[in-house]
Amino acid sequence: MTNTIKQNLLNLIVFIIIFFTAINKIPRLIPFEDELIALTSHLNFLTDFRFDSPFESGVGVSSRITTGFNASIGGAFAWLFTKSFFYTRLFNFIWFLLVANLLKLYLYKKNFFKDVKTILAINLSYLAIPWWYGALYGLGEMISTVIFFFAIIIFNYDKKLSFLLISISVFYGKFILIISAGIFLIFNLKDAIKNYAYLVFPQIIWYLIIIYNKGLNGFREYFMDFYYFASFHGLLNNSQRKNQNIIGDLLNSEVMNWPVSIKIRVILLPILLSIYLLISKNYKTSVLNKIIVVQLPLIIIINYLYFFLLSYKKYLRYSQVTLIITILLLLILIDNNNHEGSKNKPIFLFNFLFSLFFSDILLIVIFNISIFFIVFKNKFSTINFLLLFLILNTVNINYEILNDTLYNLNHPPCVDNIQSFECGDSFFTNKF
């Protein structure tokens, strides 16, 4: 069997496993208000060129819809043809994988990845991210953060495309990424000024859409409403919320109820990796290496501090910007330090930190014992072994999913009119 056939077979196996996991999870996702808001707002945009929802305040373009026009495109098209929540969730995920893999394909053609198997490992790693099923819901955290991450890697190859993608991730994804974008732009201010048109083009288009729907007076009102909404929810974090108490917000948040595994992944891993990279001297002074070991760690740290100190509602999915950048950065570090006979000690650290995203303690223990001998005995590269354990991890995720509650996805009132109150009542109460 030739290497090409083997690679294609491996690609097929990985994507079958990924889609099987998504299909397995879809009926076990509890109906979620933000899902219906994202879906109906995207549908309205496709049919009437307005971005609002009957389940969220705002007319024309709602300032309270925090998922931009990108995340639920697949689901919106699926609803037009199927009127099925099963297929909206599935095609939301397909759209996410399509966008993510187009970016990885671009970088692969630029010879960024040292091993093609890293692309497969990245695809499987999405399922290891806490709250990964936000991509099934059609929410913006997953897709917009992945676009942002690869956009700043692309900066080394095409600055114009990089700035365009960064702007898309913010204004057509999640506005919270403005923090990450701001940090990156500070480091690369000269290039940002030089390529300013590419940075503001998506923003201008979105503002024109708002003006088209609401007029100039409505445009001003939109910004006032957006400011107050963002301020209350923590992005601007000031007088809009009285009795603000950083410690109190933390102690009263869901963080206190997270299992130990989630606390390790969210609280310890990002900060440990970032500090290590910032104090390490094992890197070259190229633009790309500065992005990987200086700028990305600082972006992680600032988002980390924002989440724990400034954000009001510390929901797990709000930590995804930090987690997604962390897990993708780890895989890139493994890819760049990975080769046969390597005596590179950081490769063991990167693999160990990544393994803590595995879903079972037994997988973590066996993986790290094996990696120890692979690295220190110079047997062979680690990426093949990591890919194997990611496949095993995904199999275990599917086993764990079987214990989840099944929910009703058949809502006749929504088939009749997804914008109706009757649809919302059926969907949110999970009526059969």
Give the residue from 96, 97, 72, 90 showing the smallest Cα distance to 26. Answer: 90
Tokens of 327: 């897990």
Instruction: Give 53's DSSP letter.
Output: B
Q: Mean pLDDT over all residues of the chain?
A: 88
pTM of this structure: 0.93
pLDDT at 172: 92
Give the residue from 219, 33, 225, 213 showing the smallest Cα distance to 138. Answer: 33
Q: Write out the H or E segment, with its range, that includes residue 364.
A: helix 361-376
> Scanning the structure block, which residue is given the tokens 């047997």?
379
3-class SS of residue 252: coil
Q: Cite the DSSP H helix spans in 59-139.
A: 73-82, 85-109, 117-125, 134-137
User: Where do the structural domains in the chain lie, given as residue ranges?
Assistant: 3-242+315-412
Cα 233 from chain centroid (whole Å): 20
> Scanning the structure block, which residue is given the tokens 């006749």?
412
Give residue-wise pLDDT tens across range 232-254. Answer: 555 554 444 555 677 777 778 88
Q: Cite the DSSP H helix spans in 110-245.
A: 117-125, 134-137, 140-154, 159-171, 178-187, 189-194, 196-232
264 has pLDDT over 80: yes
How would you class 262 by CB atoms within 10 Å of its CB: exposed for 0-12, middle for 13-18, buried for 19 or more? middle
Q: Are 62 and 53 in contact (CB under 8 A)?
A: yes
Mean pLDDT calculated for residue range 361-366: 94
